[in-house]
Structure formats: structure tokens, C-alpha cells
Structure 1
Amino acid sequence: MPDALLDVANLQRSVAGHAILTGLSFQVRIGEVLFIRGASGVGKSLLLRALAYLDPIEGGVLTLEGRTPEQLGVPKWRARVTYVPQTRVLNKGTPSELYFAAQQFKAQKGRPRSDLPAIIHDLGLEPGVLNQQWSELSGGQAQRVVLALALALQPKILLLDEVTSALDHDAVLKVEKVLKACGAALIWVTHNDTQPARVGGRVLVLPLGTEMVVEQLPSSNQQPTHDIDK
């Protein structure tokens, strides 16, 4: 793939001496969507954390536009390859305060920004959520606000770990629409059986790394399943 944005070559990851990911290789282009599927325990979240360089890798090479995390600088890598977790963020203060603090990081200085209030609106939230305490937000609100903050910081790649798991059907469709239009490459772990067909793109199935292309469904057939409102 000559125009690859992210190149993953022979990635190795272990937990407590047990190999989870072995010899995994794939590439992702600018603006592409790659879904990660597989049974529980095969290393889907582990893979995302490795790609974000949040956890050490035992082998293999990661490059973003031809540069490794060490060559680019780990803080800059994480600003460009951003992990959005499934679990609720346990932050103090408000989302606005967190967003302001993130913009002060050296790796974020001078980088472009998106319109955060507009993203909040497109995700089906009221603007006031940005000034609420994190502890006051519902699970679904918190999940979308974390996603909105990540989108507003304009990474090149978003690593999405079950980011619609706490949402009802209408909210799922809003999130999918926003993500499809955001311009970032998406590497997206999902257990929602119909999500890849609604969004389109490729699917990487773990643990073997088998790839397939998904044909996108017409919008009239886009019925989300397996997501709940928490």
C-alpha cells in the first residue's frame, strides 16, 4: 500500500508472558476505516493501546507517514494517533477544563482544531455538557463527550474502542455519521454486527489478522443492533 498513513509490521504483544498478538501486519490509508473484530480475549483493546504507544510492544515496527514513535517523538505520536477508550473517563472537573488542558500540551501547540460545540451538537448533545462535572454525565453522555474532545483535537488516526457501546440507536447513528465525515483514519473495535456494513471500510479479524472488505449498506437499511442506552 504505497500511500499508507500507518504501517504495522510484525507486531508482537504479550501479557504475563503469554503471546496475544503475533506477527500482525496491516496498513491504513488517510481517511480509511478499519474495523477490528474477534472474540473476547484475542487482543482487540491491546492492539489499540499498542498502536497509540500506550503500552510497550515486544516486537515489530509501527510507522506513521514513515516515522516510528521514537523518530516522531512519543507525545507527538499520541497527539496524532489518539486512543478513545470504551470505559468511562474518571476525570475531575469538566470536559471544557480537560479540553483546555490538552491544548496546552507541547505536542498540541500549533495544531489545527475543529469546532467543539458543533461536534457536540452533531453528536446529539446539549452544549451545557461541556461545563458539567464529569461525574454528573450519564454513561452515554460521557462516551460522546470524550469522543468529541478527541475529534476536536484533529488527530490523523482515531483508535476507537467500542465507542457506541453505551448509546441508544439514534445516538449510534449520529456518532457513525460524525465519524464518517471527520476526515481522520479510523481503527474501530466493535461488537456491533451491523456497524461495519453501515459505515463501510475494511475488517481485520483477530487473532490471525484476516482482512475483508465490507460493502456498505444503503442508508434505508442501516438498523443498529447490540447497542444499549446505559
Structure 2
Amino acid sequence: MKKLLLCLLGLLSPLSAADTVPDDLVIIQKPIIFDEKRKALTLQYMQERYGMVQKEPTIEPRMVVVHWTVIPTFEKTFEVFNPPELPAARDGIRAGGDLNVSSQFVIDRDGTIYQLMPENTMARHTIGLNYTAIGIENIADGDSLPMTEAQLEANTKLISYLANKYPIEYVLGHSEYHRFRDTSWWKETDANYFTEKNDPDIAFMNRLRSQLSSLSLKPLP
């Protein structure tokens, strides 16, 4: 009954027969714009970056990539992710296409989980892996805004839920995505399109994976 009520209130993703949502997991729906323009840009990205030609911008989630935003609030993060097209201020990554960056989830500093996109719709958050990776952004910067205990707990609950719903094999930080470059998982067509990342810190990721030890996760390459 609690799950159904939260769903009707828009606090949980729409339920299906396959979903098993823990009673203590609340996901607030806050969808970004996903109009025909964003759909077309996503399909273009998938074709140009990964050589994937599809009618719908869907993915088969096999990994979760954890990030921090550097942006200090959820509200500002939402404003950045909401437009379909990459703004002029992000010219440094325009070589990868005009699709704006985004993620499926954002976790605020108090552990509140927001869902911006369907889990199986592609978001641009990690070079080379977007076609199979669910992105979780955290409101943090590793400096004046370190990752919080509430975010650790929220990431643990959310990823546990996702791993029960999809065949998730890896949980990695954005700073670790380079470890997939020489594997069959890496689909980026331009060998020179790559950026170094430091989010989140490895200590946090090790703590998170320790919390997820009951899952059948694989060690990173």
C-alpha cells in the first residue's frame, strides 16, 4: 500500500509487476525535458559515438557510474541538465556532439533521490559507456562539499534496487571509467575523445562497493 501511494503521489517511479521497491526507498520524479529534439540528439549521439543505429534512445543497463556535480545545489544542477542542447559554455566537450549532459538520477546532500530520466533511456554522463550505464550524480565537489553519509546511504539503496531490476555487473566512479578503455565495453569511436575525471574520490567508492558486497558485482578491469 505504501509503495502504491508513493507512486500515485509521484514520489516513486511508475510501478510494474517486475519492480520490487523497498519501502524505505523514495524516488522523487523530477523529469528534465525529453522532447523530440532531445530524442533526435540522443539517437545522433548513439550513432556517431557508438555506431549504434536505433529507433528509440534506450539502453540495456549493465553498470552504474557515480558522479559528483561540482554544482552546489540540486536546483542549479537541474537547470544545467534540463535543456536538450549543450550550452555554449560547454564548448570543451562539444566535440562529442550537441546533446546536453544529464544523468538518470541526482542525489542531494541530505540523501534525497531525484529521478530525471527513465533508467533505460540514454543520458550523456560518461564517455564511451553511456549506452549501457545508469548515471547517478551527487551534489558534491570533493572540497567544500564532500560526499555525505546520507549520500552514501542513498547511493547504496538506489544501486541495490537497480541491481535487483537490471543485470548490473559494475559499479564505478567517474574517476574510474578510464579502466574500461581497453575493454570490449568501450564503444567511443574517437580514440582522442577522453577527459580525466576525479569524481567521486576513491575512498568513497570503496566504501560504497563495500556496502554493496551482497550484490554479484565484478571487480573493475
Higher share of residues assigned strand: 1
Give the TM-score of the pair, scaled to structure 2: 0.28
